[in-house]
């Protein structure tokens, strides 16, 4: 596949995309292909790093600089996450959410919060905001705030896989609220800014 020509100024990769399990088993996004080279162009949903990966045979990949990716994969969708874009964080966390299996807690409630319903309500809100070109909807916003408050209250009572899964759910709820420019009102009347 050739050598990589990254400049010193290019920040390359993160722990997530350097992990072969994530790169080779569908946890990064395919953004292009080159039939002549029999390779795929992959983009990390967390950091935006680009990889060229073999399309057939044993998995082999190598990092690519953006200019090289543009040359090897003309017409590829090279939108890379922008760390200053609040919706970029929402998309990253959403991609993690849909890739993660739901933990073994169906039917469980913590402090009156049904975990399956919290997961479902959050998914509905995030899909609405992402699919609605980030528009505001007061009903969805109220549901999102309730889910965020419920998770802030219940995640500390969780453990193991359930805690890890719902901690990410809480991060997704908070990131979505922050992208909307909202904050949470605490039970004592103070406000927690999520910006």
Give pLDDT tens digits for 113-131: 999 999 999 999 988 887 7
Q: Beta strands 191-193 and 113-114: pairing type?
A: unpaired
Total residues belonging to the chain: 195
pTM value?
0.54
Sheet of 29-34, strands arranged across: 29-34, 39-43, 50-54, 61-64
Q: Are strands 50-54 and 109-110 parallel, antiparallel or unpaired?
A: unpaired
What's the longest Cα–Cα distance across the chain? 63
> What tens digit of pLDDT does each residue of 126-156 get?
888 877 654 567 888 899 999 999 999 999 9
Q: pLDDT below 50 — which residues of the chain?
A: 3-11, 134, 186, 190-195
Token pair, residue 137, equals 């909807």
- Do the bridges between strand 183-185 and strand 191-193 make them parallel or antiparallel, or are there none, so unpaired? antiparallel
Residue labelled with tokens 């509905």: 124
């Amino acid at each position: 596949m050739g050598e990589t020509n990254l400049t010193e100024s290019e920040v390359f990769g993160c722990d997530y995309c350097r992990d072969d399990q994530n790169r080779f088993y569908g946890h990064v996004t395919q953004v292009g292909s080159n039939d002549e080279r029999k390779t795929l162009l992959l983009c990390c949903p967390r950091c935006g790093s680009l990889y060229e990966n073999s399309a057939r045979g044993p998995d082999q990949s190598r990092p690519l600089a953006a200019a090289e990716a543009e040359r090897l994969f003309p017409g590829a969708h090279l939108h890379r996450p922008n760390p200053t874009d609040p919706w970029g964080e929402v998309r990253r966390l959403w991609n993690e959410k849909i890739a993660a299996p739901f933990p073994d807690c169906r039917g469980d409630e913590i402090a009156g919060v049904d975990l399956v319903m919290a997961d479902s309500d959050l998914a509905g809100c995030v899909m609405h905001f992402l699919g609605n070109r980030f528009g505001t909807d007061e009903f969805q916003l109220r549901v999102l705030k309730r889910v965020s408050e419920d998770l802030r209250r219940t995640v500390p009572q969780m453990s193991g896989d359930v805690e890890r899964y719902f901690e990410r759910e809480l991060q997704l709820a908070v990131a979505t609220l922050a992208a909307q420019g909202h904050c949470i009102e605490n039970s004592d009347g103070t406000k927690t800014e999520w910006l």
